[in-house]
Amino acid sequence: MKIGLFTDLHYKKDPEENRRFTALAPVRLKEAMEAFRKEKIDVAVCLGDIVDKAETHEEELSCWQEILAIVKEYPFPCYFIPGNHDYEVMIGDEFCKTTGMPAYPFFVDVCDRRLLFLDACYRYSGKRYDEEGMVWTETMLPPEQIDFLKKNLVESDNPCVLFTHQNLDKFLPKDYRIKKCAQLRRLLKKSGKVKYAFSGHFHDGDDHEIGGVRYVTVPSMTDTSANNYMIMEV
């Protein structure tokens, strides 16, 4: 199956001087979606950090709606996972309500693949960022989500693809990585069912194969003068 991936748009209409590309998020997203349509992708996935904090919540919501409106123009489904910045903007079930996603974690079976969507926006206390404040260097999967992952890796008859905003790749700086990611990587390896794990968060992007699993970090769409998105056959 073909997946179109994009992440870390950090959309803000009036960004600071050194982050001016973030204002181009809608234009770049349209460009990506057109490429996805041309390449006949099966699903699109947004790996989080859709909008940045703005002066008012109205402004944040209008940025958010602008992005969602673009996504809805296209015939293929688009799945979202929240990034750390999304929980600075959206609280409680606002993220799920506006994107139309079920509560995390969840899975979908499509084209003989099981897509697993997890949310690692949790403080080490076990509380989600919107409850206790966002500290980007603290990221973990609560035990329920690890159980969900284990259960799906056992039960799925299909190969699995994993999506998290934060990173599992051991070659990335520690601050970006999900707590106890070595254990999580072992879990994926042991299952033998996961070939791809996609993340965003680390804006430069990266790509490493570790223990038979390819950990792909999709680069931010708006960090540089070039647009960034990805189409992957998984």
Query: Environment class of residue 221 by beta-carbon count within 10 Å: exposed (0-12), middle (13-18) or buried (19+)?
Result: buried
**Of 41 and 46, which has the nearer Cβ to Fe ion?**
46
Cis peptide before 75 (omega within 30 of 0): no
Provide, for the chain, the percentages of residues in helix, strand and coil under a 3-state DSSP scheme, each rounded to the nearest 5: 35, 20, 45
Closest approach of Cβ 20 to Fe ion, in Å? Answer: 19
Cα distance between residue 177 and residue 196, in whole Å: 17
Closest approach of Cβ 86 to Fe ion, in Å? Answer: 9
Binding residues for Fe ion, per CB under 5 A? Answer: 49, 83-84, 201
Counting every residue, how long is the chain?
234
Closest approach of Cβ 166 to Fe ion, in Å? Answer: 7
**Of 84 and 99, which has the nearer Cβ to Fe ion?**
84
Cα distance between residue 1 and residue 37, in whole Å: 14
**Of 113 and 201, which has the nearer Cβ to Fe ion?**
201
Closest approach of Cβ 85 to Fe ion, in Å? Answer: 6
Residue nearest to Fe ion (CB): 201
**Of 79 and 202, which has the nearer Cβ to Fe ion?**
202
